[in-house]
A and B are shown apart, each in its own frame.
Chain A
Amino acid sequence: MIKILNIGSETNQRHTILFEGGEITLVLKFLPVVGIWTFDVEWKSAQILNIKLSVGVQHINNYNLPFDFVCEDTTGSGLDPTLRDDFQTGRTVLYMLEAQDLVELRGYEVEI
């Protein structure tokens, strides 16, 4: 499992994460009007758009990809990331689950 670094307070930011010899393109968007964070992810031919970030859940489990994203609330309040600087201040942290983590969670091999 890895922690996604360098998440700032920009409302539209693109992160490129090296994974299994390829690249995962993660686009984080903050919607100030409704106070939510969403993300788009692209990897190989898979493209998943507009997933809302919530604390404590696997966001793209049903897409059967060899990775997933989990958000943690470091204050223990259980609140989803709702402010622009939640990630910048560290109030919430975004992690990416790797293939080995998913094997432990799902109980079967993950296709990369």
Chain B
Amino acid sequence: MIREYNQAESGSKLQQVGVGGFTLFAKVREGVSMPSQSPTTYLEDGSYVNDHIVTEAIKVTIEGSVSDTYISAPSVAPLQNTRQDNIQNITAFLPARPPQQVQAIRNIESNVRKSYAQAEKNINQKNIIAQVGDQAQSELRRKFFDAMEKLYQSKQLVAIETEYRIYENMVLNQIDIVRDNQNEALSFSISASQVRFAKTESVRVAFNKPSGGLKGQSDPQIDKGVQQGEKVETSILAGLLK
């Protein structure tokens, strides 16, 4: 079971994109909204309903936290049930500890207690460790804030990763960042909507059997050749124009 857990830890479902490339945050909640407009008036019988339904831009909301440490959550693969004939095998019995081993264990315990007391003493001083630790720990939070501020000011389109999709061409409509002293973390909420682009394409339509009513309007183009025209006296120009 442990082996399968570790194997799953090394795999990944989606390419890591995060929000505009920033991935070092814990996503608490995310929401995807896919709105569309449907007709409220009566449609003609026989008309294509799809032509009257207009899809709107996809909206994504993400709530998360940024703290001092970041650990990528592994995806746990489903465990395989394996048939085992034996439930448990007793392979060795733990021998009794010799006196030297007992003494060594007691020395380790004593060292641990001393280190704990020293650390607590330093923490109670607050000055040195609080400043140094806070600077190092806030580096990630500062990076996140800088990244979000840069995205906001540059107005560029970014890619946002959700659980099941990566949405491209997203514009950040709202970025809310809240700092909490008690939890030493940044809580954020991001709302984004997708910008869609239309591309004009032209295709040649084949007229296999044009309607007779067109009277030859759809006939193919005829090349009449190259000419220099017939030189005409410019004196008649005045009479040509109204």
Which residues of B have CB within 8 Å of A95?
232, 240
Could you tell me if B230 and A57 are in contact, using CB atoms closer than 8 angstroms? no
For the complex, is A42 an interface residue (Cβ under 8 Å from B)? no
For residue B234, which residues in chain A have a CB less than 8 angstroms away from its CB?
Answer: 1, 100-101, 104
Cross-chain contact A32 with B217 (CB below 8 angstroms): yes
Which chain B residues lie closer than 8 Å to A7 at the CB level?
Answer: 224
List which A1-38 residues lie within 8 A (CB) of chain B: 1-8, 10-18, 23, 27, 30-33
For B229, give its contact among A2, A56, A57, A70 (CB under 8 Å).
Answer: A2
B214's contact among A8, A10, A14, A33, by CB below 8 Å, is which?
A: A33
Using known A-B contacts A10-B222, A27-B221, A33-B213, determine if residue A101 contacts B227 with beta carbons closer than 8 Å: no
Tell yes or no: B176 within 8 A of A by CB. no
Bound Cα distance from A97 to B233, whole angstroms: 11
The answer to whether A56 touches B241 (Cβ under 8 A) is yes
- Give the nearest-CB partner of B228 in chain A: A18
Q: Is the CB of B226 within 8 A of A23?
A: yes
Question: A residues near B, CB below 8 A?
Answer: 1-8, 10-18, 23, 27, 30-33, 56-58, 70, 72, 95-97, 100-101, 104-105
